[in-house]
Amino acid sequence: MAKIIPFKAVRPTRDKVSLVASRSYQTYTKAEREARLDYNPFSFLHIVNPGYKYDKEITGIQRYQLVKNRYQEFKEDDVFVQDDKTCFYIYKIIDRDGQVFNGIVAAASAEDYEKNIIKKHEDTIEYREHIFKNYLKTVGFNAEPVLLTYPDNDKIFSVIEKVQQERAEFEFTTTYKDTHYLWLLDGDSDLETLTKSFNEMPSLYIADGHHRSASSYLLYKDLKQNNPSHNGTEPYNYFMSFLIPESELKIYAFNRHIKDLNGLSKEEFLIQLDAEYRIENRGKTAYQPTTKHHFTMYLDGEFYSLYLRKSNYKFNTSLDALDSQLLYKTILEPILGIEDPRNDLRIHYSNGKGDIINIKNAVDSGEYAVGFGMVAITIDELKQIADDGLKMPPKSTFIEPKLRSGVTIYEF
């Protein structure tokens, strides 16, 4: 029931792909962005940051039009070339830690998103959806795929494994020490096998890219409504996705850092906390939780382990059992006064892939009063939340892999 189709990607030439490929714009520091813009004329950052050419910050529709202009220039200069045949693109990443990700770049159905065949586990912000929809409508392409996950499937694995016996079309290593490989899959038999295998799946799940998929869906509705000749085969009926099996998805938690104790003294805060948790002071010894409903807390130069008093907390839904929701309902909202964790400026999030000492460093800097860490959710928890039609609190998951922008581009 899940529909994915091959497409004719616009791609960098083999000799320039390593120069073109970039991380998401927001992940670079200002100094990193400027260095790449100054010294790499082929970086995809030149397309998404068109004001660099004029040494001016440009926003809104004017920026979108300039993005389109820069993109067309890359095509005119043969930095980008479109494939002649429709393909699925087999994509492999080996990251600096030796983790391997194997997936398929394909076009996923906006109608499947509408029908909840493509399932969501996060809320999106409406104004951001519309901003990105207008961006897509102006530039006419998508260069960063939505990350979707599916149950492990032997037929799909066999096709991927067979294709990877051939020489990769792309093979490049980034300055992050991640190695990327891309193969083109255009054989009719293999295309049919993949298409049929996905069509037999009742659901796909968004792992990363909720705003991108929501914006693509809005674009689909907009263009469909304004096209009297709409027949369902137009490129805008789909959006570019990277589909990866559940077993290869890596999920990490996010840490929470809070700027103050909501007017409470340290002692008052701990006393209120004691009603919900058994608290153990671990002094300077870093505590890394390994079990659900256990948290690490760093406060005033010391680590604490927090163990939920389960007799005081009712698990009525799958969301209630989620640790990010649990932390919000027992500490952040009632004690620290964080009512809107998405927009409250008193809370900051850092991904939990790194060492727990990151929480200590954030608090010791003086910018934050207290920090919390938790174990990562599982893929089964993510799917259950989505199946139940519920939404996780913001920053409940940090998910890998992270693809590079500009390696495959989908035009509509």
Domain 254-375 sits in CATH at 3.30.1760
- Per-residue pLDDT reduced to its tens digit, 375-395: 999 999 999 999 999 999 999
> Residue 104: what pLDDT?
98
Contact 128, 200 (CB under 8 A): no
The tokens describing 211, both together, are 């705003």
CA-based nearest residue to 298, from 233, 201, 363, 253: 363
Section 148-155 average pLDDT: 98
Q: Give the Cα separation of 194 and 108 in Å (integer).
A: 13
Label residue 311 by pLDDT band (50, 70, 90): confident
More confident residue, 65 or 1: 65
Task: Please compute the mean of the pLDDT values over residues 294-305 and round it to a whole number.
Answer: 97
SS3 at position 228: coil
Half-sphere exposure of 36 (CA within 13 A, CB side): 22
pTM for this predicted structure = 0.93
pLDDT tens readout for residues 104-141: 999 999 999 999 999 999 988 889 999 999 999 999 99
* Res 356: pLDDT: 84
Nearest to 240 by CA among 136, 130, 170, 142: 142
User: What's the pLDDT at 317?
Assistant: 96
CA distance 223 to 365: 50
Note whether 406 and 71 are within 8 A (CB). no
The full set of domain ranges for the chain reads 4-250+400-411, 254-375
pLDDT confidence of 343, banded at 50, 70, 90? Answer: confident
Taking the C-alpha atoms of residue 98 and residue 4, their distance in angstroms, rounded to an integer, is 29
